[in-house]
Amino acid sequence: ILGAAQSVFSNLVEFSDQAADVRKTTGLTADEFDNLADSLKGLNTRTSLQGLLDIAKVGGQLGIAKGDILEFTKAIDVAVQALGDDFSGGAEEIATSLGKLNTVFGKELGPDVAKNLLNIGSAVNELGAAGAATAPFLTDVAQRVGAVAAQTKVGLNNVISYAAVLEETGFSAERSGTALNRLFSTISTKTDASFKIAKLADSNLTLKEFT
């Protein structure tokens, strides 16, 4: 009986600590946190409540609006089911990686954070399943080049496609990021020259399509 009581007490302390962490990063009030926790308890998922709260905490750290925290957590949880075996850091690493990509490519992706996260996770998962590319590599490279890619209007899907090719040819994430940043910068500053090179591969390509 004593052991069971100690276990219950330990779980309560852990939950209280998590509640404080989530409220600190998200700005939720005590009542808002209770509503969030109740909603998370009702999800049909293999992820524990503690795991879901860890995701919510990351959402707050990434600046997700508190009104979007529930949908952020639900979307990341879906991604975890698909990508969880690929990321050594589990749900928190997935939440951080996909959340950062949403921040960088948000203008291209749109205002619906949950939808964006699902689309990012799906795109990464599909590329990984189609070849030798790995999800952590793709998200790592995309984060390294995100600022330049967004500035030069290179879409996320194109970025991770390039990253997949580079990984399959033996490039490290660091080298891939450097190479792609250089490529995107060159394309943006030397459009005519880059267009002529691209035309060699596709004679029907128009300048509008290229840019």
pLDDT per residue as tens digits for the range 191-211: 666 666 555 556 776 766 665
Which amino acid is it at 125? Answer: N
Taking CA atoms, 118 is separated from 22, 75, 101, in Å, by: 22, 6, 12
The mean pLDDT value for 14-43 works out to 93
The pTM score is 0.79
Closest to 137 (Cα-Cα) out of 110, 115, 166: 166
pLDDT category at 9 given cuts 50, 70, 90 is very low
Residue 124: what pLDDT? 95
DSSP 88: T
Task: Give 84-134 pLDDT, tens digit per residue.
Answer: 889 989 999 999 999 999 999 988 888 899 999 999 999 999 998 888 899
Which two tokens mark 132? Answer: 């030798």
Pair 41, 52: CB distance under 8 Å: no
- Please determine, for residue 25, whether its predicted confidence score (pLDDT) is greater than 80: yes
* 144, containing H or E segment: helix 135-151
User: What pLDDT shows up at residue 122?
Assistant: 94
CA 211 vs CA 14, 23, 203: distances in Å: 52, 44, 15
Span 141-166, average pLDDT: 92
